[in-house]
Amino acid sequence: MECAKAAARIGAGPACDPARGGEPMIYLNIGEPDFTAPPPVLEAAQRCLAEGRTQYTQATGLPALREALSRWYAQRFGLDVAHERIVVTAGASAALQLACTALFEAGDEVLMPDPSYPCNRHFVAATDARAVLLPCGPAQRYQLDAAAVERAWSPHTRGVLLASPSNPTGTSIAHDELGRIVQAVRARGGVTLIDEIYLGLSYDEAFGHSALAHGEDVISINSFSKYFSMTGWRLGWLVLPPGLVGPIEKLAQNLFICPSSVAQHAALACFEPESIAEYERRRAAFKARRDYIVPALEALGLPVPVAPDGAFYAWADCSAHAASSWDFAFGLMESAHVALTPGRDFGRADAEHMLRLSYASSLPELEAAVTRLKRVLA
């Protein structure tokens, strides 16, 4: 995204060089957990390399990993998801590319919330379909609802692409409302795709439900990057209707051959009790960071209209300080050496006065950032 790249450039400049007496940039614009893969996962990867298990796997992924994911859905969400419906991919990006390529074509329209993660709409555009962004405000938790879907549906609409919890807002769609959306789409012969890569990082039981509970026709995109702390390993998965597995497998064979074999063997260790316990400790840490940063932003005149219930993002209103979040974010990089992401990266609605803060950084780093912001904004 534009501002993230600019932050990296400014952060490397002399004004922020500690050797020259400046402050290092604090990056709260990147959606990457500061936690890395836990020891069992690292050890599994090392064993895989030592034993030479680096050959191609099936295009749909290791059978053992698909079965492990099936058990995880049963244990975590009480869902019976057959392992045959799970396709392991080279990250959630590959999952989105495969699903969009299989389902959309020129002339199709796909309904999405505004704001939303920009790459999601780009995957739609890559198929020559058109992403239709529907403005969603605080009253809707920045998410689509069934009424908005019904109003916007046209003869060209092919389906919806949702995200729960969302990037950039950290908000989720209520379980019952999600069911109504699925029903509205199903009644019109459309498809429901939902990005659930932050689902493991839900803090509120009212929202921590998978959309897969609403039927086998729902397509879920997920990832080992966020909850499982494997960002650079590039490993994700799809849960598909049974009839779509074959076409997706053919696409995967041609586009990717297979996901990383080392990453797949390592990911099997994600489901060991020691790893799950560590992931739950980290989930609690993210919640503690949320509980710190949201009131801190409010005190700085940067209110968060809807508190995030998952992921690690706060969607804050900077209109008390500036007419443009783009200018405001650049000003903070220069004056406070804190990098945030302006709203224009995520859509058009309210883009000028909203910005995203990622609290994927440690609590001490968040506290340091708040101190700097207070110094500048006071």
What integer pLDDT is reported at residue 206 of this predicted model? 87
Contact 235, 262 (CB under 8 A): no
Complete domains list, the chain, with CATH: 2-30+275-377 (3.90.1150.10), 39-270 (3.40.640.10)
Measured CA to CA in angstroms, residue 260 lies from 72, 240, 325 at distances of: 21, 21, 39
**Mean pLDDT value of segment 208-228:** 97
With a CB cutoff of 8 Å and minimum separation 6, the contacts of 318 are 302, 325, 328, 353, 354, 355
What integer pLDDT is reported at residue 8 of this predicted model? 39
What integer pLDDT is reported at residue 9 of this predicted model? 35
Residue 5 has pLDDT above 80, yes or no: no
Residue 76 has pLDDT above 60, yes or no: yes
State percent of the chain over pLDDT 70.
94
- For the beta carbon of residue 127, count every other beta carbon within 10 angstroms: 19
Distance of CA 6 to the CA centre of its chain: 22
Peptide bond into 115 cis (omega under 30): yes
What integer pLDDT is reported at residue 378 of this predicted model? 82
**Can you tell me whether residue 145 is helix, strand or coil?**
coil
Residue 15 has pLDDT above 60, yes or no: no
Residue 14 has pLDDT above 50, yes or no: no
**Mean pLDDT value of segment 334-359:** 95
Confidence of residue 17 (pLDDT cuts 50, 70, 90): very low
What integer pLDDT is reported at residue 16 of this predicted model? 52
Residue 361 has pLDDT above 50, yes or no: yes
The pTM of the full predicted model, rounded to 2 decimals, is 0.92
CA distance 353 to 116: 15
Residue 7 has pLDDT above 70, yes or no: no
Average pLDDT, the chain: 94
What integer pLDDT is reported at residue 165 of this predicted model? 97
